Amino acid sequence: MNIRAPSPADGQQLILLFGMPRSGTTWLGKLFDSHPHVLYCHEPDHRRVFADSGAADAADRYRLELQTFVAGLPALQSLRVAGKRPLFRKKFMSEFGFQVARLSTEVARAGSRVYPAFPIVVHHDGSGDPERRVVWKSIQSLSSLAPTLTALEKARGIHILRHPCGYIASTLRGVDLKTFSDNSSIGWMAYKSARNAAGTPLGDRFGFGDDHEQMVRDLTPEERLAWHWVLTNEKARMEVGDNTRYLRVRYEDICRDPQAGVQKMFEFAGLEMSDQTQAFIAASTGSSQNDYYSVYKNPSQAAWRWREELDDQTVARVMAIATRSTLGAEYANMTPPEGRPS
């Protein structure tokens, strides 16, 4: 009898791997992708914003929209979603099938230079694997994690948290490299977070009301990013509450002990450690590449690089904001591993 993988439409065997940009989400995503039973979807919600309303009729529409979206995840053939390097062989692929899929991915990569939407023609969706887990990695949907878990009643959500200074230093490095942003969009992110929080329990807690625009306008770029970090992460934490299908992990803890960190996440996801994952942990932490988006980095150096990039006054201003929140307070006394700058 041929037993097929369940559809992820209601969240069955679906893992949400959500975090803010520049929080280690790509590395953690590829750690999951290295598992032979995981079908990994890299930021399929890029440039797509789901509704986030508490009204009953809107919640029903939101549920249907999400269920339709995740049901289609395994079939996505875009290079951005299904072709993120490195590629890993899966239990639902033969060696020949893997090589053909890899070749098809490289053809799509070359073709995308002419036609950006060039698809991966040979794509394995893992539908014949009853142990398949679909992983949706996102830097777009963290603020909607709680309603997403509510709508997808069997999904499990992992919230990736990074030290606010690490997030800020990496974001500003991207600005300097002209990789993805600038100071005006930093301001826009903070204005949006403050506007969405105003008039809610979250905004009341941190003093964001009708004057939120003026409050943000008077801040430095680092302070704006600090508030964006607080409001985005605290929204997810507060709304999820004590949901047992929610796990919060700190990037720095996984960098400190990748083996234990991956084991914890895999157990939550119902996965066992695999030899392929063990090999990728060793490869990704044992060498470094200079590319801004590389997953091959010394984890301790990557996690604590911000101490060499932000001066003491900036760190103090950032932490004065961050530690007003429950999540920021967790970082107040975190120390770098031995051998890193203190």
Domains annotated on the chain, with CATH: 1-162+244-297 (3.40.50), 163-241+311-342 (no CATH)
| Residue that is written with structure tokens 């103090």 in the block | 316
pLDDT recorded at residue 82: 97
N residues, the chain: 342
Rounded CA-CA distance 249/139 in Å is 15
pLDDT recorded at residue 183: 59
pLDDT recorded at residue 292: 55
Helices and strands counted in the chain (H then E): 16, 5
Say which residues have a Cβ less than 8 Å from residue 134's Cβ, sequence separation at least 6: 8, 13, 14, 15, 38, 39, 41, 70, 73, 74, 126
Rounded CA-CA distance 320/325 in Å is 10
Contact 43, 139 (CB under 8 A): yes
Contact 309, 301 (CB under 8 A): no
pLDDT recorded at residue 341: 43
For every one of its 342 residues, what pLDDT tens digit does the chain have, with 9 covering 90 and above?
457 888 888 889 999 999 999 999 999 999 999 999 999 999 999 878 775 555 455 567 788 889 999 999 999 999 999 999 999 999 999 999 999 999 999 999 999 999 999 999 999 999 999 999 999 999 999 999 999 999 999 999 999 999 999 999 999 998 887 775 555 577 788 889 999 999 999 999 999 988 888 888 899 999 999 999 999 999 999 999 999 999 999 999 999 999 999 999 999 999 999 999 999 999 999 876 767 567 888 888 889 999 999 999 999 999 999 999 999 999 998 888 865 443
Say which residues have a Cβ less than 8 Å from residue 320's Cβ, sequence separation at least 6: none
